[in-house]
Amino acid sequence: MNVKTVFFACLVVISMGLGAVEAPVDGCHFIVGTTYSYVHGTDSSADFLIYKVDAAGNKLWRKNLGGEDSDYLWSTSYTPTADGGVVVAGKGNSYTHGVDDVLVYRLDATGAKLWRKNYGGIGFDEPNAVLQTDDGGFLVVGFSDSYTVGDRDFLLVKVDAAGAKQWRRTFGGGDDDYAFSVCHTQDGGYVVAGYTHSYIHLPSPTVPDSGRGIAPPDFLVYRLDATGAKLWRKNLGGNLTDEAYGVIDAPDGGFIVLGQTYSYTHGYQDFLVYRLDAAGNKQWRRNYGGANYDSGRSVARTLDGGFILAGRSSTYTNGCYDFLLYKVAADGAKLWRKNLGGDDTDEAFTAYATLDEGYFVMGTTYSYHHGSDDSDLLAYKLDAAGNKLWRKNYGGEHDEYGWD
């Protein structure tokens, strides 16, 4: 094994805890979302859907998880575990203390269920990401109106390896605040990113955002210590809608935050990336996109110190929307751009670097499906230059999707 291969293998192992979904340790991939084809309840209910596939995209196993009611899983809300298994965290209606609960399953490498837990209060509690922590436990992040200062707040639930709750934290202001991503920090703490209506740059908070009835949001980023105590809070953005969906640790101890923007655009909506230092100070800001709607959902490190960005585009497309990927350097300079998809809507929600120095991308497709006119989960494997090696869609006769 050469030096470059050894370095890349080490990078993948290190980055397993960073918050963006990363490659499983065995070289396989998990493909996750929500299913209406394979359910435990009625035909109109939904279940979590998890596939494990090999490096060529061939199915090793498929599991649907849930109860008699509808349970929803997003394609960003899972983490491979060090033992080859997976933890998934979704919105549960089947097992709940209130309206919706955070519903978490842990599976082993064969897909066997190790445990199921639900966490929440009397209101809405919904996860958007889950991270395996240094102590072998997990941190689930999302939003809640069960435990809040304002309308909805960031929600963090820390559990041990068996799913027992260790602590719960909420953060936010007097309005709605939604957490979508989490990563480790080099000192053992966490950074959580999402968007806020409580802390914003809009000059006049009384000016409503189109269609929302409230002021347009900013990126919102919190840095926490290992116990979940707040170290700092930053809001980032302009005078229009800016929403963060991904955050990862940068090699220098800072952070990369990705989302979508109406404030800084080449057209209507762009990918938006901030690079922050360890104290949350802005080092640079970049926006990527074209004349129409381009929105970022996923960010991950690459071997050369840069980043892979993924989302959807109506600017560069073969149909309504396509998967859109940018490979960027450490300073944010664009190295290449790729759009992938068919003649209908295709949206990417997760992308990461693979052991062979290529990329794996996952999302939802209406272009390629097993049903008559429904959606499937869609995965692409790309080489280092972003060229397609294979494409697979996964699903049944009804809808499967990665995001609501």
Structure confidence by residue, pLDDT tens digits, 22-65: 777 788 999 999 999 999 977 679 999 999 999 999 999 999 99
| Predicted local confidence at residue 355, as pLDDT | 87
Q: Are 384 and 357 in contact (CB under 8 A)?
A: yes
Q: Which of 3-12, 24-33, 105-114 has the highest mean pLDDT?
A: 105-114
Whether the pLDDT of residue 218 is over 50: the answer is yes
60-64, 120-124, 161-165: least confidently modelled range: 120-124
Strands (E), 215-353: 218-224, 230-236, 242-249, 255-261, 270-276, 282-288, 294-301, 307-313, 322-328, 334-340, 346-353
φ and ψ at 227, to 5 degrees?
Answer: -95, 0
Q: Are 257 and 276 in contact (CB under 8 A)?
A: yes
Positive or negative: CA dihedral 138, 143, 145, 148 = positive
Whether the pLDDT of residue 7 is over 50: the answer is no
In a domain, 305, yes or no: yes
Residue range 259-288: average pLDDT? 98
For 55-100, give the DSSP string: TT--EEEEEEE--SS-EE--TTSEEE-TTS-EEEEEEESSS-SSSB
64-78, 209-223, 254-268: least confidently modelled range: 209-223
Containing domain of residue 190, as a range? 3-31+125-401
| Predicted local confidence at residue 203, as pLDDT | 59
76 in the Ramachandran plot: left (φ > 0), alpha (ψ -120 to 50) or beta?
alpha
CA-based nearest residue to 140, from 195, 185, 101? 101
CA-based nearest residue to 73, from 90, 59, 58? 90
CATH code, 361: 2.120.10.10
Chain-centre distance of CA 116, in angstroms? 21
Q: 365-399: per-residue pLDDT in tens?
A: 999 998 777 899 999 999 999 999 999 999 999 99
Residue range 93-99: average pLDDT? 89
**pLDDT tier at 11 (50, 70, 90 boundaries)?**
very low
Q: What is the C-alpha separation between 76 and 129, in angstroms, rounded? A: 6
| Predicted local confidence at residue 211, as pLDDT | 41
Residue with tokens 């762009």: 270
Q: Are 201 and 219 in contact (CB under 8 A)?
A: no
304 in the Ramachandran plot: left (φ > 0), alpha (ψ -120 to 50) or beta?
alpha
In a domain, 39, yes or no: no
CA atoms within 13 A on the CB side of 122: 1
47-56, 189-198, 209-218, 329-338: least confidently modelled range: 209-218
Q: Are 382 and 358 in contact (CB under 8 A)?
A: yes
Q: What is the C-alpha separation between 70 and 399, in angstroms, rounded? A: 13
| Predicted local confidence at residue 8, as pLDDT | 39
In a domain, 86, yes or no: no
Residue range 139-143: average pLDDT? 98
Domain count, the chain: 1
Residue range 139-145: average pLDDT? 97
CA atoms within 13 A on the CB side of 237: 32
CB-based burial, 111-126: b 16+ in 10 Å, e otherwise: beeeebbbbbbebbbb
Task: Report helix, strand or coil for 105.
Answer: strand
Q: What is the C-alpha separation between 386 and 336, in angstroms, rounded? A: 8
| Predicted local confidence at residue 2, as pLDDT | 44
Q: What is the C-alpha separation between 319 and 27, in angstroms, rounded? A: 32
What HEC string does 382-397 produce? ECCCCCEEEEEEECCC
Q: Are 286 and 265 in contact (CB under 8 A)?
A: no
| Predicted local confidence at residue 367, as pLDDT | 96
In a domain, 101, yes or no: no
- The whole-chain average pLDDT of the chain stands at 91
| Predicted local confidence at residue 307, as pLDDT | 97
Residue range 160-167: average pLDDT? 98
| Predicted local confidence at residue 372, as pLDDT | 73
Q: What is the C-alpha separation between 221 and 240, in angstroms, rounded? A: 18
What are the structure tokens assigned to 357, written together?
């120095």
Strands (E), 147-186: 153-159, 165-171, 177-184
In a domain, 83, yes or no: no
Radius of gyration of the chain (CA): 19
Residue range 317-337: average pLDDT? 96
